[in-house]
Amino acid sequence: MISVLYPALLAIALYFALVITAFYSRLDSPAAGSRILDAFRLVHSLVWTPPFLRHWQFMKNFFSLTIAKLFITWFAVVPVAAHLLSNAPDFVKLPHNCKGAVIVDLVRQASTEAPSPPAAARNDQVRFETLCDFWAIPIGLPFKWELLWLASFLFFLAFAIYLVACPYFVKRFPSYSAYLDVGNSVRWNVWEFYYMNTLPEVRRSIEERLITKEHAVPTTQDVTSKPCVTRDNTYLVFKHDHHTYLFGSPKPDMPKDDQRRWEQDVFWEVFEGWTKSRPLFASLIRGLLRSAGALALYAVAQNIVAALNYIV
């Protein structure tokens, strides 16, 4: 019970330390009560939904961190090490305070009738031994390696799901410069907008922004089932709030520099649509990473508690 209680208390203390830090970072708030509430909200948002878990594009950087490699290495190596050390003793004894001693083993006569020969002729056995005290050093880890392995297993599952479920657009084009490096035509953004497979409400919000920025303009043309390619541009006609809008590229009579800025703006709109797609897979990854993080932090707390017990 104590081994569970100490790490839990340490985790609670760390949480309130974060809250106090956040409280002092909100000193510009008008009232102390609002500062406390804002501090708890800030810590909750950082702990429950940190930036690297909010969208698909942030997860890639998280999985490429050194800690990710450590988790995967631990997941692969620990079962082999546990099997090899399954019969190892719990303690290793190291000698200290050693002293030499001469020990004489007296050889008794086989019969008591004959007189005893001189001491030199009795063939007594003389040997030299080293007498030592021993330190019993435990070779076990100060934390439950099973918990850390389980955390690495959950992390591995999250990474595997990310590799399978992360939208191809986000993995291939993590930035606008990566999109340009492929050599896509300025017309291709229309196709990316057409292929954007995301939630209906997300697509609707992106359509609204394209209309607000006048990237998509009102038109009397009929809705097209897919982009239409002409000599001058590629365009798509879609319906939004009972009105039809034309979204095409390149823009007529638009300077080349302005066209690139327009293309960059549209790219990030489409990018956001992809980053908010497949929410069930993203939620599953977030749940697995939260569980892995909680187990790993608990193992760290156990390690800290073991060190404190040794110091005390």
pLDDT tens profile 9-63: 656 666 666 656 655 555 555 555 566 666 666 655 655 566 556 678 878 777 7
103 and 74 in a common domain: no
Q: What pLDDT score does 206 carry?
A: 94
157 and 211 in a common domain: no
* Selection from 51-55, 149-153, 186-190, 255-259 with the highest mean pLDDT: 186-190
C-alpha–C-alpha distance, residues 235 and 247, integer Å:
5
47 and 114 in a common domain: no
Q: Which domain holds residue 112?
A: 92-138
pLDDT, tens digit, for every residue of 233-286?
899 999 998 899 999 988 877 787 788 888 999 999 999 999 889 988 988 988
Higher pLDDT, 295 or 233: 233
58 and 13 in a common domain: yes
13 and 61 in a common domain: yes
303 and 154 in a common domain: yes
Who contacts 254 (Cβ-Cβ below 8 Å, separation ≥6)?
262
Q: What pairs with residue 134 in β-bridges?
A: 95
Q: Hey, is 215 helix, strand or coil?
A: coil
Omega of the bond prior to 255 within 30 degrees of 0, cis? no
6 and 150 in a common domain: yes
Q: Hey, is 129 helix, strand or coil?
A: strand
Q: What pLDDT score does 15 carry?
A: 61
Counted domains in the chain = 3
Q: What pLDDT score does 2 carry?
A: 46
155 and 28 in a common domain: yes
CB atoms within 10 A of CB 283: 11
pTM above 0.75, yes or no: no
Surface-to-core class of residue 129, CB atoms within 10 Å of its CB (0-12 exposed, 13-18 middle, 19+ buried): exposed
30 and 147 in a common domain: yes
154 and 247 in a common domain: no
Helical (H) or strand (E) element with 140: none
98 and 73 in a common domain: no
What percent of the chain has a predicted confidence (pLDDT) above 90?
21
191 and 231 in a common domain: yes
Q: Is the pLDDT of residue 127 over 90?
A: no
- Please state the rounded mean pLDDT for residues 88-95: 61
Average pLDDT of the chain is 75
